[in-house]
Copies of this chain bind each other. A is one copy, B any other.
């Protein structure tokens, strides 16, 4: 009779251990197909366990199909196609976790410095959410987002950006990329997307993944040119009118009106306004979005909290014109929501109670100081006499144009040797590569007390 050492079972229940022993013997061919298992009673006696224990083990084998039961006879081993122990594939372990290198200064990433986020307020609001909304948290997340958050956003957009928006127009998603992909599905495969030929390659990658039709359109320093949109027969154009990254100028009213007129000329033309960096403006009043100038429902407005709060928070939103809301409800409302309710309620309170505006103001002042110190330090250094600062009016970066013969690639390599990470403007020219002798300095994550040293290192790297 089958014999197993049940004392080896550790913390596993006896019946489960017994089931596993028999199962493995079946899989390894040690018990053959058609073999009859011992009767429960005699097997129990043999092993010194209760009949119930054996019965439970047999039932488990039966449920999973390792044995079949023949009435008034007993349990018989099933005929299996293959044998071999059920072991998971042993991963090679070749792909190691990336070790994240920390530069002396990283002038490329959007990582923030400590103390720039009101963690304790956030924790308090989260705790409040958990204790006050426990009933709502037990429900699934609405596909378009929690009502309270959409309502808070309406008020915020009205007071701070002159936008008239109703909650039903707002859609919450786990990141701008996620919302992009929803828009691609909303518009369908016939739509032709237009991306500025300077800026962010990622949008193009996303379109490619969805097999969407897109083209780079020509730009001047104000953004996409209408004649290029017409030439490419584009339907939807991406713009960031408050801050054309990386050049950073504000799109002037003339171009805004040209684009609006272009969109209004055909029923399937839209402007996709990504307003992601507009909160950090250092001069003058906030720029009203193109959305607020639109009277015909041709503008889709997108924004994110990853930039204004913390990068690790994955909450973005978009505002659709009413016509597209209806289309979205019909076509895409079967998708589940993608942002956990706890975070949505917490953010709703954060905005409604005024913490968000206060935080934006705090960050704006912080960035202004950092920006001025860094520009001052660079212009006071050896680098100053051959450099021109091109200052966007918003965002967290400026351009540093250097009068040098070094190619852009060489420039960034030499700077990296000084333990400073930085990008050249040419990396953002998407349709042609040429040397710009210009660096894109993102001061978002620089240590306050490393500003002078960073300027000196930049100077040394460039001039040596």
Chain A residues within CB distance 8 Å of chain B: 13, 15-16, 19-20, 56, 59-60, 63-66, 78, 80-82, 84, 86-97, 109-114, 116-117, 119-120, 122-123, 126-127, 130-131, 134-141, 147, 162-169, 174-175, 177-178, 181, 185, 189, 202, 205-206, 209-211, 250, 252-255, 257-258, 260-261, 283-285, 287-288, 291-297, 306, 310-315, 321-322, 325-326, 329, 332, 334-343, 393
For the residues of A in contact with B, the DSSP-based class is: loop
A222 → B minimal CB distance (Å) = 8
Question: In the complex, are the beta carbons of B393 and A165 less than 8 A apart?
Answer: no
Residues of B within 8 A of A88 (CB): 162-165, 291-292, 294
Question: In the complex, are the beta carbons of A338 and B178 less than 8 A apart?
Answer: yes
Task: Give Cα A297 to B66, complex, Å.
Answer: 23
Question: In the complex, are the beta carbons of B139 and A311 less than 8 A apart?
Answer: yes
Question: In the complex, are the beta carbons of A185 and B209 less than 8 A apart?
Answer: yes
Residues of B within 8 A of A310 (CB): 137-138
Residues of B within 8 A of A112 (CB): 138
With A114-B134, A174-B338 as contacts: A314 and B141 at CB distance below 8 Å: yes
Question: In the complex, are the beta carbons of B167 and A97 less than 8 A apart?
Answer: yes
Task: Give Cα A167 to B123, complex, Å.
Answer: 28
Question: In the complex, are the beta carbons of B87 and A295 less than 8 A apart?
Answer: yes
Residues of B within 8 A of A325 (CB): 95
With A87-B295, A178-B338 as contacts: A250 and B138 at CB distance below 8 Å: no
Question: In the complex, are the beta carbons of B116 and A138 less than 8 A apart?
Answer: yes
Task: Give Cα A442 to B22, complex, Å.
Answer: 35
A368 → B minimal CB distance (Å) = 16
Task: Give Cα A311 to B340, complex, Å.
Answer: 9
Task: Give Cα A51 to B87, complex, Å.
Answer: 80
Task: Give Cα A162 to B85, complex, Å.
Answer: 12
A444 → B minimal CB distance (Å) = 10
Q: Which of B13, B65, B126, B250 contacts A123 (CB 8 A)?
A: B126
Given A60-B284, A80-B254, 16 more pairs with CB closer than 8 A: A13-B285, A81-B258, A87-B295, A88-B294, A89-B296, A89-B322, A90-B164, A91-B168, A92-B322, A97-B147, A114-B138, A126-B126, A174-B178, A312-B342, A313-B340, A313-B341
Task: Give Cα A284 to B33, complex, Å.
Answer: 23
Q: Which of B20, B253, B322, B326 contacts A78 (CB 8 A)?
A: B253
Task: Give Cα A210 to B190, complex, Å.
Answer: 13
Residues of B within 8 A of A252 (CB): 63-65
Question: In the complex, are the beta carbons of B16 and A285 less than 8 A apart?
Answer: yes
Task: Give Cα A97 to B242, complex, Å.
Answer: 31
Question: In the complex, are the beta carbons of A311 and B56 less than 8 A apart?
Answer: no
Question: In the complex, are the beta carbons of B111 and A138 less than 8 A apart?
Answer: yes
Offer 21 A-B interface pairs, CB within 8 angstroms, sorted by A. A20-B285, A81-B261, A82-B257, A82-B260, A82-B261, A84-B295, A86-B162, A86-B292, A95-B329, A96-B168, A111-B139, A119-B137, A123-B126, A123-B127, A139-B312, A202-B334, A205-B334, A211-B211, A314-B340, A315-B340, A338-B338
Residues of B within 8 A of A336 (CB): 175, 177, 314
A330 → B minimal CB distance (Å) = 12
Task: Give Cα A211 to B257, complex, Å.
Answer: 36
A418 → B minimal CB distance (Å) = 23
Task: Give Cα A252 to B165, complex, Å.
Answer: 54
Residues of B within 8 A of A338 (CB): 174-175, 178, 314, 338
Task: Give Cα A110 to B19, complex, Å.
Answer: 33
Q: Which of B141, B147, B258 contacts A312 (CB 8 A)?
A: B141
Chain B: which residue is nearest A258 at the CB level?
B81
Chain B: which residue is nearest A150 at the CB level?
B97
Residues of B within 8 A of A313 (CB): 340-342
